[in-house]
């Protein structure tokens, strides 16, 4: 992969990206009419791939509706006929799901907010300004996210514990934000750079101050970038589990992945109840799907309708 070609390509790409919002375009690779029959075949292929891809998700939901006895059988049950929501009732019975949901949501929202804020400021700095230490900063950010986290737990524990932040949402959020912010900077940096400063300058000619111009012109154009980076930060914070294990030892502070793991680990005297595990897994996945749907609503609100229209 030759690095030298990249700038040229990027240059070329700038134009369409910017006019995008006010110029509806077809997004398809134009196909010649005679290829149209092939298109039906491709559509079938797409649907088949979709089914294969979604199968594990389906299997989770399907299993969550079946009694454990049926799951233990050597012959799989492909449709939850005669299934029930009892597994969900059991998984939710002691209320610990909602405690964990609260903890997970708090941590995730804090992380998403601060990641976006910090990364936004930093990405403006590195893509709108030229200053000493700029490349060093970018490189440091890159390196930091390459460090494997599996060996860090002792150090993280010592640090958070000596600050008195063990078992607190703040402590974990600090570690997560630090872990996710580098990538968020990477993503946003591209977005900020993709919005030409000329737009702001034009607005300033029209009498806006620089910060006004930035807020009114650049910031809205940045929304898709913020959402994309936010989705990433959300998934990272939502899924993380090794750091949480060590930094949130108290059961009241368990996040959803820890809560879910509690179901999976069969103890010496209890065997894993797979139906309940699948129900619990589904419960953990639902908030993410809801989040995706909410964000998608924001998306289609016209900001980028041209550029990323379906």
Binders of another protein among residues 178 to 207 (CB under 8 A) are: 178-179, 181-183, 185-191, 193-194, 196-197
Q: How far apart are CA 32 and CA 277, in angstroms?
A: 50
Binders of another protein among residues 68 to 97 (CB under 8 A) are 68-76, 84, 86-87, 90
Q: How far apart are CA 90 and CA 128, in angstroms?
A: 54
Is residue 301 a contact residue for another protein (CB under 8 A)?
Answer: no
Is residue 98 a contact residue for another protein (CB under 8 A)?
Answer: no
Is residue 215 a contact residue for another protein (CB under 8 A)?
Answer: no
How many Cα atoms are found within 13 Å in the side-chain-facing hemisphere of 107? 34
When the beta carbons of 151 and 207 are compared against another protein, the nearer one is 151
Binding another protein by CB under 8 A: which of 145, 199, 204, 305? 145
Instruction: Show Cβ contacts of residue 151 under 8 Å, excluding neighbours closer than 6 positions.
Output: none
Is residue 209 a contact residue for another protein (CB under 8 A)?
Answer: no
Identify whether the C-beta of residue 228 lies closer than 8 Å to the C-beta of residue 254.
no
Is residue 109 a contact residue for another protein (CB under 8 A)?
Answer: no
Binding another protein by CB under 8 A: which of 49, 170, 202, 215? 49
Q: How many residues touch another protein (CB under 8 A)? A: 175
Q: If you ran DSSP here, which 8-state letter would residue 215 be given?
A: I
Is residue 37 a contact residue for another protein (CB under 8 A)?
Answer: no
The 3-state DSSP class for residue 81 equals coil
Q: How far apart are CA 126 and CA 118, in angstroms?
A: 12
The 3-state DSSP class for residue 93 equals coil
Binders of another protein among residues 3 to 32 (CB under 8 A) are 3-17, 20, 25-32
How many Cα atoms are found within 13 Å in the side-chain-facing hemisphere of 59? 9
Identify whether the C-beta of residue 187 lies closer than 8 Å to the C-beta of residue 229.
yes
**CA distances for 52 relative to 49, 56, 76, 163, angstroms:** 5, 8, 17, 48
Binders of another protein among residues 228 to 247 (CB under 8 A) are 228-229, 231-232, 235, 238-239, 241-242, 245-246
**CA distances for 85 relative to 66, 81, 295, angstroms:** 8, 12, 29
Is residue 138 a contact residue for another protein (CB under 8 A)?
Answer: yes
When the beta carbons of 29 and 206 are compared against another protein, the nearer one is 29
When the beta carbons of 58 and 216 are compared against another protein, the nearer one is 58
Is residue 34 a contact residue for another protein (CB under 8 A)?
Answer: no
In whole angstroms, how close is the CB of 163 to another protein at the nearest point? 8
In whole angstroms, how close is the CB of 41 to another protein at the nearest point? 9
In whole angstroms, how close is the CB of 81 to another protein at the nearest point? 14
Q: Per CB under 8 A, which region of 95-103, 212-220, 266-274 contacts another protein?
A: 266-274
Q: How far apart are CA 279 and CA 154, in angstroms?
A: 33
In whole angstroms, how close is the CB of 93 to another protein at the nearest point? 10
């Amino acid at each position: 992969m030759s690095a030298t070609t990249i700038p040229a390509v990027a240059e070329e790409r700038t134009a369409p990206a910017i006019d995008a919002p006010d110029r509806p375009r077809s997004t398809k690779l134009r196909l010649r009419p005679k290829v149209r029959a092939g298109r039906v075949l491709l559509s079938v292929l797409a649907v088949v791939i979709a089914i294969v891809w979604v199968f594990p998700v389906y299997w989770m939901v399907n299993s969550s509706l079946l009694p454990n006895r049926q799951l233990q059988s050597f012959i799989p049950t492909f449709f939850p006929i005669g299934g029930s929501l009892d597994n969900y009732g059991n998984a939710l019975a002691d209320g610990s799901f909602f405690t964990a949901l609260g903890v997970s949501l708090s941590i995730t929202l804090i992380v998403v907010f601060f990641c976006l804020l910090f990364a936004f400021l930093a990405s403006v700095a590195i893509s709108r300004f030229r200053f000493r230490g700029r490349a060093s900063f970018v490189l440091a950010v890159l390196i930091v996210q390459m460090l494997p986290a599996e060996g860090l737990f002792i150090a993280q524990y010592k640090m958070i514990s000596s600050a008195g932040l063990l078992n607190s949402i703040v402590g974990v959020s600090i570690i997560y934000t630090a872990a996710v912010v580098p990538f968020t900077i990477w993503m946003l940096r591209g977005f900020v750079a993709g919005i030409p400063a000329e737009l702001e300058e034009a607005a300033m000619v029209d009498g806006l101050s620089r910060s006004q111009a930035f807020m009114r012109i650049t910031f809205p154009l940045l929304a898709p970038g913020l959402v994309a980076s936010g989705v990433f930060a959300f998934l990272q914070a939502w899924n993380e589990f090794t750091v949480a294990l060590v930094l949130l030892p108290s059961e009241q502070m368990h996040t959803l992945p820890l809560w879910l793991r509690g179901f999976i680990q069969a103890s010496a005297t209890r065997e894993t109840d797979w139906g309940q595990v699948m129900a619990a897994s589904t419960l953990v996945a639902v908030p993410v799907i809801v989040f995706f749907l909410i964000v998608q609503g924001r998306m289609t609100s016209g900001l980028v309708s041209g550029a990323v229209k379906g």
